[in-house]
Every structure is written in structure tokens, then in C-alpha cells.
Structure 1
């Protein structure tokens, strides 16, 4: 019976996808973003090389993924860039705030994959550098909701970063399908998406944007496979961790 249900769920999913398994699920499969159309996006860099996406939630704080920093690495943040070769505003990081539950349980290593970076100096908000709102109360995004992702990530597994910001449309997937992946997917702390494009290496840490709000942070691609239509992107649900986020940010 379980096998039959599983096959029915997968069949339902496949019937809703307008592409075959040979289509690459990565942002390279999307489109080049219009210059500065996503002014909240930042490039998180190590040794001045892009490693992760991130986004401004205030003029001095960036939300990204906890796995984007190993040990005591020094990171910097570039804001206001569309092409990474044309840098606009670089800031050092004065404090790194990883969620305390991240990577504490080997059975669920991706739980709470969130990190808040405090910049050493506020960025000047303008038409090329802006913040994006995050939920202020817990939200439940309906299955099938149209959202979008963006980043400077790899064009293929292990490939080079894209020099220009790219974007793709995705849809929220049913948690019951994601849950078949086992303990690594945990709802409601996580959500997963599918589409003709999506996140790959270098896009992780970036936002899942639904209705002009950043609702989740790109965490991982199942089996690290960016070029398989059935290995969907998994995101950390921001609204599941609001008390911690609010404890880091200064009071308004």
C-alpha cells in the first residue's frame, strides 16, 4: 500500500511538471535578471570570491545560510551588484550569528540552516540597494504558490559561478512528497520547491521570494544534484525561526 501511495504521489508531481528529467534544475535554466531588479540580493564572499547568496533584511543585517561559513572563515558582503565583476558596495562582517540548533543533530544536519551577518557599517539604501521584508508572524505558503529564486550560482554541478545575477520561477511543493526523502527533510522548518530552474552551488543562502517577501533561505539540493528534475531544492522556512531572528536584530 505504501508503495502504491508513493507511486501515485510521484505520478501526480510529474504530471504537474512541464519538463522532462533531462532538464537542468538550476538558475542557469532561468533568465538573466534585469539589472538591479532585485536590489536586496547580496553576494557572500570568501577571499573576494563568491560562495553564497544572501539578502538584506535591514541596512546592516544580512540573512543567509549557516553552512556558508566554515569554522572561523572571514566573509565579506557585496551589495548593489548585478555583475560581480562590477562591484558596488563591499562590507566586512562584524559578527556572525548562526542559529544554535544548526548542525547539532547528525540525523537532521540541515535543520535551522540560518545565519545572520551584521555588517561592520550600514549600507546606503538607494535604487540599487534595498531591503526585502521577511514574515513577522508564522505563515503557511500554499502548495503550488508561484515564487522566485535568484543567484550567481554554478551553471552545473561543481561548475563556475555565474558572473551575472540570474533568476527563475518555482512553485511550492507538497511536504508529503519532500518527506519521502527521509529524516533530512523536516517540516515545518523546511519547505521545498520545483520548477524549470532553481538553486545550485553558489545560490544557497539566497531567498525564496513569494509575493515580494523573502519567506525562506536556500539550504540544499537533494543528493547535491542540480541537473536532475526530480532532485528538488530545499529551503529553511524563515517564519519557523522568527523568535531567534528577532532576538538578533535591534528593536525597531
Structure 2
């Protein structure tokens, strides 16, 4: 069963992370592009294992995307992380990716990208991964709450993101970083994106802006508000990490609750 938040969700969020899976040429327009999200900008190193739900999705030992545990068998991430059809393994309980002392590596048994996901629009950018085995909750590995209903997160809520992606234009980070970000209303987000790129911010998306933000390396990680995973890092401005021109965009988890339950409860 999913671990659900049982009270009124008060949300605080995290800026999107752009993983190694960079859709650098997505929707080219007037020299600009939208990129799938990457790493943490203006972030700090996380207290070790304070985010036990975080997952590093890897291909042959290389970090590809972020993800997060939502039950003892399932990891949630972005559908675009399956671009190129990599064979993924899930590294749980990690803080420093160069040190496997406290981490657990598990194979992925089933891939469940949303059937309506579009690489052109990045709408429906959500995927569930069924692990080959059951996770035992501990101090270093545990799952996170997701919303109980479709209630929206209030605008200007302060939330957070975390990931192992790039901190600017440098290589991917080894230590898990976190940063704060602020929820922006969808109308303002859509207007900002129209000036940069012909992408529509749908009801299945949500946006967040400074101070923290994303860069290449961690699409698929959670946008977290008051210990609830409310969004999935999806895409941002391809010209600049944590760009002031356009907010980072996340898949809105509450928009997919029936789909999520059908997969997790049907396992």
C-alpha cells in the first residue's frame, strides 16, 4: 500500500532537477529550448539520510535520474527518464554516491511510464518502477507520503528539492544536495514560458521559482512540501539552470492519484 498523508496537505516544495537525461533540443523555438530538469542550484549538502526516500536511478553504475520511494515496492520518477530505454537499477539509502556503505542496490522488475506521456510536450511526465523485492523500512531507507486528494498547493508556499545532479555546469555531484523553492501559480508560469518556449503548462503540471533551482542531473526527484511529495522534477529552461526567465516545472502528483493506485494496489 502507498504511504498517504492522512491530513490536510500543507505543502512546501523543491525546485526541479534536470537529470543526465537532458532533452536539450526539446521544442526548439527562436534559439531557445526546454530541458528536462537537472541538479540543485543554490543548495546545501543534506544531513546524511535525512531524506531516506531519495533514490538514485542508475545505468551501469552511472546516475541517470532521481526518484523516490512511495511504497515498499515502488519508486516514483519522471517518464522521460526512460528515454533511450536504459536498464535502470535503484540505489536506495545513499548520501554519497561514491560510498556504498549504507546504500542498497535493487533491480527494477517492471517499468510503468504513464501511457499518455509525450516527449513533445512533457505532459504526463510520471513513471512508477516496481522493484525486484520488498524494501524494509529503516533509518536510511523509507518511503514518503504523497497527497491524499487533488487539493492544490497554495501559491507562494515554500518547498524543497533534493538531488545528486550538477550544481552549475560542473559534473554531477556525489553528495545529496537540497534547496528551497517557492510555488508559483500556473497562469503566471504559463505566461512566462510563452515568452521563452511554445510549451503549455497543463493542469497536470506545477511550477516553482527561486531561490533554489535545478541543473543537469536529477529529473525525477520529488518536489516536497511539509514532508509530502507533491511534484516530480520534469523540465526547465534549457539555456540556463534555475533561469529567471521561466519557472521550473514539475509533474503534479495529485493529478495522477487514480493511475498511481491502480498500479501500486494491483501489484
Q: What's the TM-score once normalised by structure 2's chain length?
A: 0.79
For residues 67 and 224 of structure 1, the distance between their equivalents in structure 2, rounded to whole angstroms, comes to: 19
The answer on whether the counterparts of 2:213 and 2:242 sit within 8 Å (CA) in structure 1 is: no
How many matched pairs?
224
Aligned counterpart, 2:211: 196
For residues 75 and 42 of structure 2, the distance between their equivalents in structure 1, rounded to whole angstroms, comes to: 26
- Which has a greater percent of helix? 1
Q: What's the TM-score once normalised by structure 1's chain length?
A: 0.84
Give the root-mean-square deviation of aligned CA atoms: 1.8
- The alpha carbon displacement at 1:232 in A equals 2.2
Q: Does 1:229 align with 2:229?
A: no
Pairing partner for 2:81 from 68, 72, 79: 68
- The alpha carbon displacement at 1:72 in A equals 3.2
Q: Does 1:31 align with 2:44?
A: yes
Q: 1:9-61 CA deviation, whole Å, 9 max, x = no partner? A: xxxxxxxxxxxxxxxx9624111100001000000111111011100001110
Aligned counterpart, 1:84: 97
For residues 262 and 113 of structure 2, the distance between their equivalents in structure 1, rounded to whole angstroms, comes to: 12
Aligned counterpart, 1:134: 146
Gaps of 5+ in 1: 1-24
Pairing partner for 2:186 from 162, 166, 175: 175
Aligned counterpart, 1:155: 167
Aligned counterpart, 2:135: 123
- The alpha carbon displacement at 1:222 in A equals 2.3
Higher relative contact order (CA 8 A, sep 6+): 2
Q: Does 1:43 align with 2:56?
A: yes
- The alpha carbon displacement at 1:242 in A equals 0.9
- The alpha carbon displacement at 1:227 in A equals 5.0
